Every structure is written in structure tokens, then in C-alpha cells.
């Protein structure tokens, strides 16, 4: 379906022309032009939020070719600069980085440096470091973005929802009252209002200065 704005100039349709009755049935670049469902001079009632960057995730272009460390983005990230890899903080046995395809603003991942896939494979030191970094990530995000809650968790195995199952990672997802609205539920689109690089810069800057524990700012309002 199309409207007057979609008709190529090569078809000779003048700007501001009337209904497309004379063009109905014409095939342009393999697409058949159909009559609009409303008069041509009626404003389009639908708003559209274009998220073309999601096609990289949908198409799987960034998926590792196999489960080896050589193909793993979580193994490659520590060898790059913090800015390029979106790393927020480097710990002793694990590090914190932005999720490239976030569920919500400020969505962080805690990854061990070692290429292990299962929580049972992590050493005691790695488990302790992941736990410490998870707690600190909550404090920092709380101080910077004032969420009303968090989802924490690990998806163990592809069948359990792990996007990169070969490398263990903990999710830290900030949540706000009302963020599970019609957009992700019906529209299958999650608006993320801040660029990942800007989020990384803010969180990295606050890592050493944000309040700890119950001293951290804990919002009570309904919106972020």
C-alpha cells in the first residue's frame, strides 16, 4: 500500500496530485501499487518509530560463528579500549560492559575474563568478583539513572535464552514503573532514549564516586 509521496517521479505523478486510481495495479520495482485505504489528502494516522539498528540483532550479523574463544565478543572486548568496547569497569576476574542490544536504558553485563559458559565452571574468585561487580553496578546505575528496581540474572544455555551461551555473563537490567508498556508488548519495540556511548561515559565516571549500599539514591517517583 502506498500514498502519493511513495510514487516515484519516473511515473510522472505531479506533486500534490489527487488519488492514485490511475496508478492502481502498476508494478514498481516488483511492488504492486494499491489504492490507499483513505483519501490521499487525509493525514496519515499512524506514527512510526524506526529502529533500523535492530536489524543487526535480528539478522544475527554479530553472532559468533562458533563457540570458541577466538569468535567470542566477550573475550575480544577486554583487548579493545573501554570506549570502543563499551566497557564501564574492569575488575580482577571480571569486567562490566554495556549490553549492545539493551532491554532497557543502562542494561549492563558482568563477564568473567575467562571463556567459560556455566556458573559451575567459574572459580570462587570469579564468582566473588561477579557478585561484587553486580552489586556495584546496581549502586552506580541507581545513582546515575534512578531506576525503581532491577532484574538480575544469568541465562544458562541457548535454550534458556542466552544470546552468547559460550561465555558466562550476568545481566543487570534497570527497571522503571511503567516501562513494560504497549511499546515492547504490542509494538515489539523498546525505545532507548540515550546512546550507549553516552551511557557508558556517565556510568564509568560515576563508578568510583557513586554512594554505596543504602546510601545510594533510591527513587520513589513513578517515572524515570
Q: Annotated binding site for substrate: which residue ranges?
A: 99, 171
Please tell me the number of Cα atoms within 13 Å of 170 on its side-chain side. Answer: 25
- Residue ranges for the known binding site are 99, 171
Q: What are the residues whose beta carbons fall under 8 Å from the beta carbon of 203, sequence distance 6 or more?
A: 88, 98, 106, 108, 140, 141, 144
Cell 528496581 belongs to 149
Active site residue 115: no
What are the beta bridge partners of residue 90? 95
Q: Of the residues 107, 148, 169, 224, which is catalytic?
A: 169
166: which 3 cell numbers?
559460550
Identify the H or E element spanning 111: strand 108-112
Three-class DSSP category at 170: strand
Residue 136 CB-density burial (10 A; 0-12 exposed, 13-18 middle, 19+ buried): buried
The residues annotated with a catalytic role in the active site are 169
Amino acid at each position: 500500500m502506498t500514498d502519493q509521496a511513495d510514487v516515484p517521479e519516473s511515473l510522472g505523478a505531479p506533486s500534490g496530485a489527487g488519488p492514485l486510481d490511475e496508478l492502481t495495479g502498476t508494478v514498481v520495482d516488483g511492488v504492486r501499487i494499491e489504492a490507499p485505504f483513505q483519501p490521499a489528502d487525509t493525514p496519515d494516522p499512524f506514527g512510526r518509530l524506526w529502529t533500523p539498528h535492530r536489524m543487526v540483532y535480528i539478522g544475527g550479523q554479530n553472532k559468533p560463528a562458533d563457540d570458541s574463544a577466538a569468535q567470542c565478543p566477550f573475550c575480544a572486548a577486554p583487548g579493545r579500549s573501554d570506549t570502543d568496547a563499551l566497557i564501564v569497569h574492569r575488575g580482577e576476574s571480571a569486567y562490566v560492559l554495556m549490553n549492545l542490544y539493551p532491554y532497557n536504558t543502562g542494561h549492563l553485563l558482568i563477564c568473567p575474563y575467562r571463556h567459560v559458559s556455566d556458573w559451575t565452571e567459574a572459580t570462587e574468585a570469579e564468582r566473588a568478583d561477579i557478585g561484587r561487580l553486580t552489586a556495584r553496578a546496581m549502586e552506580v546505575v541507581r545513582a546515575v539513572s534512578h531506576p525503581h528496581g532491577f532484574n538480575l540474572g544469568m541465562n544458562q544455555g541457548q535454550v534458556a535464552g542466552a544470546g552468547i551461551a559460550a561465555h558466562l555473563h550476568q545481566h543487570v537490567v534497570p527497571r522503571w514503573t511503567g516501562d513494560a508498556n504497549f511499546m515492547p508488548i504490542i509494538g515489539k519495540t523498546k525505545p532507548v532514549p540515550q546512546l550507549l556511548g553516552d551511557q557508558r561515559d556517565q556510568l564509568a565516571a560515576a563508578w568510583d564516586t557513586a554512594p554505596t549500599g543504602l546510601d545510594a539514591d533510591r527513587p520513589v517517583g513513578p517515572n524515570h
